[in-house]
Structures are given as structure tokens and as C-alpha cells.
Amino acid sequence: MPKKSFKILDENIGNNYILNQIVEINDLYVVLYENSFFSIKISNKLTDHPGPKYKKMVFVSENQATKTAKKLNEKFKTDKFSVRKISNFKNFE
């Protein structure tokens, strides 16, 4: 399967020669739990430092979202995690 090509909206090359590009996307893929939005909070039970972290659940790649949902289903021994495609969000408020 060929890689998707994205329309480049803007780009910048920093002092460290790293190219940053703003690319247009048409679809987002979100991982859902029981068909609802959610977040996974990760924290250390022994200390509050550096504080909790939250895992990313919205992806540009369907493959990444599907792999994440599969890993979460295995980790939590369930089938309640799924992926939904979100499209046509060009002019949302």
C-alpha cells in the first residue's frame, strides 16, 4: 500500500536544519472505549514526580490507531476498544 501524500501548507527549516512542515489532512482516526472518547492517564504510584502523563488516542494514520486499539484490548483483556474515522472537519467550531 503506497504512503499517503499530504498537501504541504507551510514549512520551516530551523537553525538545526530540521524541516518542519504543516500538512493538510483529510481524516483523523480516534481510538474509542465502548464507543466513547476517553484518555489513559499514566502515573507512578511511588512518586508524583514528574506528574501524570496522558497517552495519545487521536491519529492521522488508521494503521497506528488500529495497532493502539489492539494493544489496549490485549492489555486490558477486553474487546471494548475500537477505531472510528473522523472526516469532513474543515470548517468546525
- Name the grid cell of 33: 472505549
State the DSSP code for 90. T
**Is the pTM value of this prediction over 0.85?**
no
Within-domain flag for 15: no
16-52 residue pLDDT tens: 999 999 998 888 999 999 999 999 999 888 887 777 8
Q: State how far the alpha carbon of 60 is from the alpha carbons of 13, 20, 34, in Å.
A: 23, 17, 21
47-87 residue pLDDT tens: 877 778 899 999 999 999 999 999 999 999 999 999 999 98
* Full residue range of the structural domain in which residue 61 is found: 26-87
Closest CA relative to residue 28, chosen from 5, 58, 69: 58
Within-domain flag for 48: yes
Within-domain flag for 13: no
**Number of domains composing the chain:** 1
- Name the grid cell of 3: 504512503
Q: Alpha-carbon Rg of the chain, whole angstroms?
A: 17
Within-domain flag for 8: no
3: Cβ contacts below 8 Å, ≥ 6 apart: none
- Name the grid cell of 18: 530540521
Within-domain flag for 9: no
DSSP H or E stretch at residue 42: strand 41-42
Within-domain flag for 40: yes
Within-domain flag for 56: yes
